[in-house]
Structures are given as C-alpha cells and as structure tokens.
C-alpha cells in the first residue's frame, strides 16, 4: 500500500500548552488506522491537522506525496472529511442534514438523492429522511453525522471517538459501517478512540499517544502484547487488574487479582498476568441470575457519573469495577449510590494482556 497522509516532525502549541510534540506518522491508503490514548493525549488535534482544519506550529503534512500549504489547503479539505465527537446537526430533517455538504460541493439533485439514499442505508437509517434530526436519539444522531460524511465519498475519513457514550446497538452499527466502507470501497479511515477493544477489533495498526507524544506504534498484536504496561496504565481506572493465573480443566484460566476476587478468562495462561474487562460487557442485576457468565460478583455502587445518554457506575466488589449502562436502565432498576448489586461477565469478555 502507498502512503496517503504523512506527518513529519509535527508540533502544535496552543499558547503555552504543547498539544503535539514532534510527531512523525504515515497513513497508508485503504487502511483503518487507530489513534489510541487518554483524553488530552493529542488525538483530536492530530485529526484536525490531517483534515487541514488546524495548521501545525512546526512540521509538514503531505497528502498523496504533496506538501499541504495555503495554496492547496482547500483542495485537500475536499478530499477528506471529519466526524466530530460532539454531534452538530442542523435543526432540520435528516435529508437536509446529509445533503448539506453535497449542496456546498455543487452536486446535482439526482446525485444528491442517490448519495443520501446510499449513505443512510450504510448506517441503517433508510426511511429516516423526513424525520427531524435533533429529535433522534444520541446514537441515531451520530449515525446521521457519519452518513453526512460518507455521502461525500472522500478518500480519507477521520473519526473522533465515533462511539463515545453510545449504547451497544448504535456503537455496533457504527463499527460495522466503518469496517464495511473500508473493505468494500477502499476508504482510508483514521479513528481516534480511548476504547482499547474497539481499537483491537477494527484496526491492524495502532499509534498509542500520551501527552502529545507517540509512546508506541505498530500492528495491533504488537501493541497489545509488548506495550501492555502502557495500556494497563492508560486504562487503570477501567477494570484493569493484575494477578496470578492458573489454567483450569475446562481450558480456561482463573486469575487471582487479590482482595478475594478471582476472575475466569477464556484463555490458557499461567503466571503473572494483567487482565482487562470492558465496562460494556458487564451485566448488572439486583439479584443473582442464571446465565452463561462465568464471573458473578456481589458488590455495592459507590459512584455514579452522568455521561449524557449513558451513566458510568463504580462498583466495589472486592475490587472496584467500572460499568456503563443507559440512563433508562438505571431508572428501571431503581438503583443509586449505596445500592447492593450483582455484576456478571463472560470469561470471553476478559482480555489477558501480556506482562
């Protein structure tokens, strides 16, 4: 694959703050590339520079081997599009929202209608054309934003936390759409995320950023192997635990993470390991339930954080677990800080990170 975007010695200052510090990066054509890192690591700034929305303080950006400068910046902008983390839709129909960029670029009515139909089908919103965009759910609004970008059929698609705070259904639709447009249409995708499982599942190449610098870069298998300590530190507040692992007769492993907590993982591993459990994979119940989940723990809710359409709960069950559910589920369960709760998750939801 040939290079589509190249960044050479990119540094970006905002006043005294350094958002990016001497970043060198090359994005190949037709690949899905992930920028992984915590909030404030420089992911969004890097995307905005690739999109020619921001200019670097120092360094050069090349698109298709041509250096971006003031004379060709607008031309490059037409060859890429960016979907922002915070959905910004017009107070009008879904059709008019998706048509906006096409209208600016002068597409005919026939081409506009065809592109809108196709892009809404990709994000599974066919039939929504006449609905008011701002009356849709948060996840549906994010899918409209993605459809608006896809309708332009640009060579480079830039996504800033595309599934942040979305429910599993909408997140799954968006993830499937990303894979499909890359696989079927050869669209190059660069995605910024803090979700390590999403990064692992959607991409083959990852850059891990911290404080504006590249900590490590390479294939997903390498990043999630050799650099597991960086990742463990990055996700230390979200269900990352270390302990001694032993294999069981069933072909799984039992990891003793201390404080009376043992976690079963669907992998054979012995010795000291670090494990990660995705907050979205944990099921909550007020009573113990019969299920195929190998891990069930009783705990107490110690913190609730409002994230918009969803809430994040911290549950003390020997260890502190982070769980993410919708606001509707929270209301229906009638739980609050101090409530007793059971958490359950499958052994297949436990990811073992090599030490």
Can you give the pLDDT at residue 230? Answer: 56
> pTM of this prediction?
0.69
Q: What is the CA radius of gyration of the chain?
A: 22
Q: What is the pLDDT of residues 288-305, one digit of tens each?
A: 877 777 899 999 999 998
Q: Is the pLDDT of residue 247 over 80?
A: yes
Averaged pLDDT for residues 52-67: 94
Can you give the pLDDT at residue 248? Answer: 92
Exposure string of 88-107, with b = 16+ CB inside 10 Å and e = fewer, is ebeeeebbbbbbebbeeeeb
Can you give the pLDDT at residue 237? Answer: 46
Query: Considering only CA atoms, which of 118, 52, 121, 128 is closest in space to residue 97?
Result: 128
Residue spans per domain, the chain: 3-231, 241-353
Please state which of the ranges 138-142, 244-248, 265-269 shows the lowest mean pLDDT.
265-269
Can you give the pLDDT at residue 46? Answer: 96
Average pLDDT, the chain: 88
Q: Is the pLDDT of residue 227 over 50?
A: no
Q: What is the pLDDT of residues 110-169, one digit of tens each?
A: 999 999 999 999 999 999 999 999 999 988 999 999 999 999 999 999 999 998 777 778
Can you give the pLDDT at residue 277? Answer: 86
Give residues with Cβ within 8 angstroms of 51, minimum separation 6.
Answer: 77, 80, 81, 82, 158
The fold adopted by the segment(s) 241-353 is OB fold (Dihydrolipoamide Acetyltransferase, E2P) (2.40.50)
Q: Is the pLDDT of residue 85 over 90?
A: no
Q: Is the pLDDT of residue 319 over 90?
A: yes
Q: What is the pLDDT of residues 324-349, one digit of tens each?
A: 888 888 889 999 999 999 999 988 88
Can you give the pLDDT at residue 129? Answer: 95
Can you give the pLDDT at residue 284? Answer: 93
User: Taking the CB of residue 27, how many other CB atoms lie within 10 A of it?
Assistant: 21
More confident of the two residues 354 and 76: 76
User: What's the angle, vertex CA 23, arms to CA 19 and CA 28, rounded to 5?
Assistant: 125
Averaged pLDDT for residues 84-96: 89
Can you give the pLDDT at residue 47? Answer: 95
Sign, CA dihedral 324-326-329-330, equals positive
Task: Tell me whether domains 3-231 and 241-353 share a fold.
Answer: no
Please give the class, per CATH, of domain 3-231: alpha beta
């Amino acid at each position: 694959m040939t290079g589509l975007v190249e960044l050479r010695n990119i540094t970006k200052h905002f006043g005294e703050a350094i958002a990016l510090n001497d970043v060198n990066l090359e994005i190949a054509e037709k690949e899905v590339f992930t920028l992984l890192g915590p909030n404030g690591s420089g992911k969004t700034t890097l995307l905005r520079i690739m999109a020619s929305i921001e200019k670097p303080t120092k360094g050069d950006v090349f698109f298709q081997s041509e250096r971006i400068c003031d004379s060709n910046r607008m031309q490059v902008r037409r060859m890429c599009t960016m979907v922002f983390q915070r959905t910004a839709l017009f107070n009008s129909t879904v059709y008019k929202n998706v048509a906006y960029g096409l209208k600016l670029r002068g597409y005919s009515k026939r081409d506009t209608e065809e592109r809108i139909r196709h892009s809404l089908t990709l994000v599974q919103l066919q039939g929504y054309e006449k609905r008011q965009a701002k009356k849709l759910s948060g996840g549906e609004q994010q899918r409209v934003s993605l459809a608006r970008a896809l309708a332009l059929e640009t060579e480079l698609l830039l996504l800033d936390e595309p599934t942040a705070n979305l429910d599993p259904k909408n997140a799954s639709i968006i993830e499937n759409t990303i894979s499909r447009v890359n696989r079927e249409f050869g669209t190059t995708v660069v995605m910024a995320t803090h979700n390590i499982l999403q990064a692992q599942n959607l991409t083959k190449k990852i850059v891990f950023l911290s404080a504006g610098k590249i900590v490590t870069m390479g294939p997903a298998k390498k990043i999630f192997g050799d650099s597991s300590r960086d990742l463990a530190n990055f996700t230390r507040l979200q269900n990352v635990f270390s302990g001694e692992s032993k294999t069981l007769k069933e072909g799984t492993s039992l990891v003793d993470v201390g404080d009376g907590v043992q976690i079963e993982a669907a992998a054979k591993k012995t010795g000291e390991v670090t494990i990660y459990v995705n907050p979205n994979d944990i099921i909550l119940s007020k009573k113990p339930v019969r299920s195929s989940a190998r891990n069930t723990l009783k705990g107490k809710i110690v913190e609730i954080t409002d994230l918009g359409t969803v809430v994040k709960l911290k549950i003390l069950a020997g260890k502190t677990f982070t769980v993410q559910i919708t606001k509707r589920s929270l209301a229906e369960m009638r739980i609050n800080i101090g409530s007793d709760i059971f958490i359950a998750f499958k052994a297949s939801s436990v990811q073992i990170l090599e030490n």
